[in-house]
Amino acid sequence: MPFESKSEAGYTIVSIDETRLDASISELFRVYLFDQIDNGSNNLVVDLSLVRFMDSSGLGALVAALKKMGGEGKLKLAGAQPAVLDLFNLTSMDKLFTIIPSVAEAIEEK
Amino acid sequence: MDILIVEDARDQRMILTVVLKKQGHRVFEASDGYEAIRVLESHPTIRIVISDWMMPNMNGIELCEAIRKSHIGYYVYFILLTGKSDREAVVEGINRGADDFINKPVDFAELNARLNAGIRIIELKTALENKIETIEKDLECAAETQARILSEPAKIQQVDFNWYFKPSRYLGGDMFGYQALDGETLSFYQLDVAGHGIPSALFSFSLNNILREDGSGSVIKESFNEPPFYRIRKPDEVLVSLNEQFQAKPEAMLYFTMAYGVINSSTGSVIISQAGHPPPLWLKSNARCVETISSGGVPIGMMPGMSYENTTIQLQPGDRLFLYSDGVTECENQAGEMFGEQRLESLLGSTFDSSIEAMISRVEQEIVSWTGADVFEDDITYLVLEWQP
Q: Which residues of B touch A65 (CB under 8 A)?
A: 250
Which CATH number characterizes residue B183's domain?
A: 3.60.40.10
pLDDT confidence bin for B85, thresholds 50/70/90: low
Give residues with Cβ within 8 angstroms of B249, minimum separation 6. A67
| Model confidence pLDDT, tens digit, residues B61-77 | 999 999 999 888 889 99
* Residue B250 within a domain: yes
Is B141 contained in some domain?
A: no
- pLDDT score for B168: 81
Domain around B37: 2-132
A71 vs B: CB within 8 A: no
At residue A110, the pLDDT reads 57
Contact residues on chain A for B302, CB-CB shorter than 8 A: 63, 67, 96
Shared domain for B85 and B165, answered yes or no, is no
Q: What percent of chain B stands above pLDDT 90?
A: 72
Closest-CA distance of chain A to residue B253, Å: 6
pLDDT tens per residue across span B91-120: 888 999 999 999 888 999 999 999 999 999
Tell me what pLDDT residue A30 has.
Answer: 95
Best to test chain B binding among A56, A57, A68, A87 (most B CBs inside 10 Å)? A56
**Does B127 lie in the same domain as B59?**
yes
Whether residues B296 and B363 share a domain: the answer is yes
Residue B62 lies inside a defined structural domain of this protein: yes
Cα–Cα distance for residue pair A89/B279, rounded to 1 Å: 11
B197 and B73 together in one domain: no
With respect to residue B145, please indicate whether it lies within any of the assigned structural domains: no
Kindly state whether residue B137 falls inside one of the protein's structural domains: no
> Which residue from B minimizes the CA distance to A22?
B195
Q: Are residues B183 and B323 in the same domain?
A: yes
**B195 and B109: one domain?**
no
- Are B323 and B372 in the same domain? yes
Secondary structure of residue B33 in the 3-state scheme: helix
- Residues with Cβ within 8 Å of residue A24, at least 6 apart in sequence: none
Predicted pLDDT at A23: 85
Alpha-carbon span A62 to A59, nearest angstrom = 5
With respect to residue B142, please indicate whether it lies within any of the assigned structural domains. no
Q: Are residues B79 and B205 in the same domain?
A: no
Same domain, B126 and B273: no
Mean pLDDT score, B366-376: 88
Mind listing the pLDDT tens digit for each residue in B128-151? 999 999 998 988 888 888 888 899
Query: Per-residue pLDDT for A9 more than 80?
Result: yes
The CATH number covering residue B51 comes to 3.40.50.2300
Contacts with A91 from chain B: Cβ below 8 Å:
257, 276, 296-299
Task: Give domain status of residue B143, yes or no.
Answer: no
Q: State whether B196 and B111 are in the same domain.
A: no
User: Which of B251, B245, B253, B139 has its CA nearest to residue B194?
Assistant: B253
What pLDDT is recorded for position B84?
62
The ipTM of this complex is 0.90
Segment B26-41 shows an average pLDDT of 94
Q: Output the pLDDT for position B16.
A: 94
Number of domains in chain B: 2
pLDDT digits (tens, 9 = 90+) for B162-200: 999 988 877 888 999 999 998 999 999 999 998 767 888
Of A34, A56, A92, the CB nearest to B194: A56
Q: Does B160 share its domain with B121?
A: no
Residues B98, B179 within the same domain: no
